[in-house]
């Protein structure tokens, strides 16, 4: 296929309508039409503008090309390879506006009472399970508790994630308060994560500018010492990476989610980072205090082990959002990258019983394109968008009660997906054959 032929040009900068987070923000940001849920009336313009301005800051790219100009391939052979087959790296014959128009209007409506009901449910389950485990306090109960509680910590993270996107409610103060409480309780710096996650959504699918689980160009990959390569691509080590990423990001990138002067953040975001770091510190201090009160072993059993189970869930789910499909999917840079094409390389996953527990976060393609849609409407929105997406939507393999099938997908990906070319605007993962032999066996 033509898109497999890598160009000989050097790396190109990100298009100007997606500035690096440290670039100055537009003095009067406008709401991209492709991200508006539905047309506004004159009587609601002021309210909608305030809502959109908040959503623009927390959930969407700073600017997006116009609907009519975004990858509009009508009447072309876009999506068709040289042999007449489907090419996932080709520009699609539709744009963001086409997808948006297919999604029912009510899918965009945020219900704060419904959102809070999920918070109440999850928090009640967390405290209830902790009380039961502490009451029985035996080694038959503890392993079951660790798995269940770690899963619930992950569910709390997803609700805080909705707060960060502004899909929890239209009230930014409510989003911020709930987001801080949920994320700080599981040792995540809310604003630090929110801003870097915004960067991820602004640049998803871009080799250099994406923020989480992006591929390493071969030059950076080969600069890593052998042990670093092994730890990065040998399970279970990559599934424990999240706390270290918060402190120091990924290879080739600098900055910390806790440091207000980090290059991750704009100068006017420093107060937010100080607030979230202080909240994180308060939670860490509370855990230290509890260790003196009830003993460090009990705190480890009640909180420490579930925390690491949560980290496993977070790294597993976020990695599989962007890796491991049986067909090779492209990554972009330069003129070939766009918000839409990057979003179309994300992958939906089915987690069986866990879907409801972790708020359908596996329904990820529509979330990446329109992160302001509440999680409880993602399934309906996805079903409505499928006719537009066509082959660019990859139906997830159905799971049993537990998503055990995804473990094989994870192992295979870490054996095969190691780096991409330093050049070329449409690139695919390549395999280090020497490292593949030292990876976890299938």
The answer on pLDDT for 232 being more than 50 is yes
* 8 A C-beta contact, residue 97 and residue 69: no
The answer on pLDDT for 32 being more than 50 is no
Q: How far is CA 314 from the centre of its chain?
A: 9
Of residues 435 and 322, more confidently modeled: 322
For residues 120 and 141, give the distance between their C-alpha atoms in angstroms, rounded to a whole number: 24
Q: What is the pLDDT of residues 124-168, one digit of tens each?
A: 999 999 999 999 999 999 999 999 999 999 999 999 999 999 999
The answer on pLDDT for 424 being more than 90 is yes
The answer on pLDDT for 77 being more than 70 is no
For residues 234 and 101, give the distance between their C-alpha atoms in angstroms, rounded to a whole number: 43
**pLDDT the model gives residue 257:** 95
**pLDDT the model gives residue 347:** 96
Question: In Å, what is the CA distance from 159 to each residue of 216, 332, 344?
Answer: 30, 30, 24
Q: What is the pLDDT of residues 188-230, one digit of tens each?
A: 999 999 999 999 999 999 999 999 888 999 999 999 888 888 8
Query: How many other C-beta atoms are found inside a 10 Å radius of the C-beta of residue 236?
Result: 11
Question: In Å, what is the CA distance from 235 to each residue of 261, 305, 308?
Answer: 33, 18, 15
- Tokens linked to 413: 């990906």
Please report which confidence band the pLDDT of residue 12 belongs to, taking 50, 70 and 90 as the band edges.
very low
The answer on pLDDT for 59 being more than 60 is no
The answer on pLDDT for 393 being more than 80 is yes
The answer on pLDDT for 376 being more than 90 is yes
* 8 A C-beta contact, residue 18 and residue 62: yes
Name the helix (H) or strand (E) containing 270: helix 270-294
Question: In Å, what is the CA distance from 260 to each residue of 137, 145, 264, 265, 419?
Answer: 41, 36, 9, 7, 31
Write the CB contacts of 173 (distance below 8 Å, at least 6 apart in sequence).
none
| Number of residues that this document lists for the chain | 442
The helix/strand count (H/E) of the chain reads as 18, 2
Which of 13-17, 48-52, 96-100 shows the lowest mean pLDDT across its residues?
Answer: 13-17
**pLDDT the model gives residue 437:** 67
The answer on pLDDT for 6 being more than 60 is no
For residues 409 and 416, give the distance between their C-alpha atoms in angstroms, rounded to a whole number: 11
**pLDDT the model gives residue 188:** 97
Which of 6-10, 40-44, 271-275, 370-374 shows the lowest mean pLDDT across its residues?
Answer: 6-10
Asked whether the CA dihedral 225, 227, 233, 237 is positive or negative, the reply is negative
* 8 A C-beta contact, residue 368 and residue 349: no
In this structure, what DSSP letter does residue 302 have? I
Query: How many other C-beta atoms are found inside a 10 Å radius of the C-beta of residue 441?
Result: 7
* 8 A C-beta contact, residue 171 and residue 303: no
Of residues 34 and 298, more confidently modeled: 298
Please report which confidence band the pLDDT of residue 81 belongs to, taking 50, 70 and 90 as the band edges.
low
Percent of the chain clearing pLDDT 70 (strictly above): 80
Which of 27-36, 157-166, 240-249 shows the lowest mean pLDDT across its residues?
Answer: 27-36
């Amino acid at each position: 296929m033509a898109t497999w032929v890598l160009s000989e040009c050097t790396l190109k900068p990100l298009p100007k309508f997606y500035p690096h987070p440290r670039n100055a923000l537009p003095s009067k940001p406008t709401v991209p039409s492709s991200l508006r849920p539905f047309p506004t009336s004159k009587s609601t313009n002021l309210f909608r503008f305030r809502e959109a301005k908040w959503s623009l800051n927390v959930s969407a790219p700073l600017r997006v090309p116009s609907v009519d100009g975004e990858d509009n391939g009508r009447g072309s052979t876009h999506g068709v390879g040289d042999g007449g087959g489907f090419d996932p790296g080709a520009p699609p014959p539709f744009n963001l506006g086409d997808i948006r128009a297919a999604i029912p209007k009510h899918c965009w409506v945020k219900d704060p009472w419904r959102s809070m009901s999920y918070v109440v449910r999850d928090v009640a389950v967390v405290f209830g399970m902790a009380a039961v485990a502490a009451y029985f306090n035996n080694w038959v109960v503890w392993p079951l508790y660790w798995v269940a509680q770690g899963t619930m910590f992950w569910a709390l993270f997803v609700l805080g994630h909705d707060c960060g996107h502004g899909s929890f409610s239209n009230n930014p103060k409510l989003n911020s308060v709930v987001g801080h409480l949920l994320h700080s309780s599981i040792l995540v710096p809310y604003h630090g994560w929110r801003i870097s996650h915004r960067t991820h959504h602004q640049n998803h699918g871009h080799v250099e500018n994406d923020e989480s689980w992006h591929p390493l160009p071969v030059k950076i990959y080969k600069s890593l010492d052998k042990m670093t390569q092994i730890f990065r691509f040998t399970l279970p080590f990559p599934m424990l990476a999240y706390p270290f990423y918060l402190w120091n990001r990924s290879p080739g990138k600098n900055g910390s989610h806790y440091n207000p002067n980090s290059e991750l953040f704009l100068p006017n975001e420093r107060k937010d980072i100080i607030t979230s770091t202080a909240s994180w510190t308060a939670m860490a201090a509370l855990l230290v205090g509890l260790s003196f009160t009830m003993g460090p072993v009990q705190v480890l059993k009640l909180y420490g082990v579930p925390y690491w189970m949560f980290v496993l869930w977070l790294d597993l789910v976020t990695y599989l959002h962007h890796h491991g499909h049986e067909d090779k999917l492209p990554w972009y840079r330069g003129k070939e990258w766009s918000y839409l094409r990057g979003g179309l390389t994300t992958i939906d996953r089915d987690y069986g019983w866990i879907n409801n527990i972790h708020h359908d976060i596996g329904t990820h393609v529509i979330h990446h394109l329109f992160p302001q849609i509440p999680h409880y409407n993602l399934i309906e929105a996805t079903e409505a968008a499928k006719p537009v997406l066509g082959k660019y939507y990859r139906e997830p393999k159905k799971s049993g009660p537990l998503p055990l099938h995804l473990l094989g997908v994870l192992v295979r990906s870490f054996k095969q997906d190691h780096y991409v070319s330093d050049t070329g605007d449409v690139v695919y993962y390549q395999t280090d054959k020497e490292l593949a032999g030292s990876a976890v066996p299938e």
